[in-house]
Amino acid sequence: MSSGVALFQRAESLYANNDINGAFDYYQKSIKKILKDEIVTAKLPALVPPDFPQETLGAVWRNFLGFFRDPTMNFTEQSAPEAYKLLNSFRPASSRSHPRLEKTTRGKVLLKGMQVTAGLTLGIMAWDKKDRATAAKRYKEAIDLAATHPPFNVLPSNPENFERWVYGDLQETKINLGILVENDTVNAQLLGANAPGRRGVADLPLPTARVDKTGEVTEENSAMFATDACANCGKRDVKLLRCSSCKQVPYCGVDCQRADWKSHRASGCVKKNN
């Protein structure tokens, strides 16, 4: 049976010959082979650029994700369900375990990096479907997980290739999430008190510019919101705290919740006894 490296090389050859479907299939075979039978931290027997993972698994994973990120290739949950299942099994909030990656310190780093980049990929796919709320959630999951491994956020003086690649991906994640929050903030200003929370859709009183993740600007007349607004200061974010009593009203922190308590209590919420 072919090794993970051999399957990877076969995928690369097929891609070079413009056999996109064949290459995509062999990238998946390579990932599954390494995860099942091989040393997950083994490195490619070749020199690679500094921002290209040196570990074979990381290299194959990087190229595999590229097929989902390019909308012109049309690899989606519907068109490639098995491949999507593999991708989604590495979503940061997934309950799926990967025991062979969890056995060693380096394996755990690879797992965390694969999860972070899976989160970005799933966010991009949701954005392409104009599902802003899911895109923002996936980006936030990736950013929160990456924060638990410092080299993904601040590169050391001599970083590993894999860390350098994940770091670059993470910067794009932060930019994309920032654009979503900025778009919501602008739209909320147009709507005023009528601005909805996360997943809410509203018709805009005036057409507004929508900045895409590619930098392309388009005009829109309605918008799905990816964020909630703090009931006290109005700041919008993907994941806000909720009042522990009513479970409804969002706040960006304890200070804002305390500052708004008199008004919130007057609206009918009763504070629980501790």
Domain extent, residue 250, equals 230-274
> How high is the pLDDT of residue 1?
65
State the CB neighbour count (10 A cutoff) for residue 248.
12
State the CB neighbour count (10 A cutoff) for residue 93.
13
Q: Quick one: how far is CA 84 from the chain centroid?
A: 14
Angle in degrees, CA 84, 165, 154, rounded to 5: 125
Q: Which residue has the higher pLDDT, 128 or 52?
A: 52
Q: Rounded CA gap, 143 and 115, in Å?
A: 10
- CATH no. for residue 105? 1.25.40
Q: What confidence tens digit (pLDDT) does each residue in 133-163 have?
A: 999 999 999 999 999 999 999 999 999 999 9
In a domain, 18, yes or no: yes
> How high is the pLDDT of residue 273?
46
State the CB neighbour count (10 A cutoff) for residue 211.
14
Query: Considering the entire predicted model, what is its pTM?
Result: 0.87
Q: Rounded CA gap, 257 and 274, in Å?
A: 16
130: closest CA among 44, 218, 243?
Answer: 218
Q: What confidence tens digit (pLDDT) does each residue in 65-105 have?
A: 999 999 889 999 999 999 999 999 999 988 888 999 999 99
The reply to whether 25 and 118 lie within a common domain is yes
What residues form DSSP beta bridges with 217? 211
Question: pLDDT band for position 274 (50/70/90)?
Answer: very low
The reply to whether 29 and 157 lie within a common domain is yes
**Count of structural domains, the chain:** 2
The reply to whether 174 and 48 lie within a common domain is yes
The three-class DSSP label of residue 212 is: coil
Report residue 154: phi and psi, to 5°: -130, 110
The reply to whether 31 and 89 lie within a common domain is yes
What residues form DSSP beta bridges with 43? 55
- Radius of gyration of the chain from its Cα atoms, rounded to whole angstroms: 22
The reply to whether 53 and 170 lie within a common domain is yes
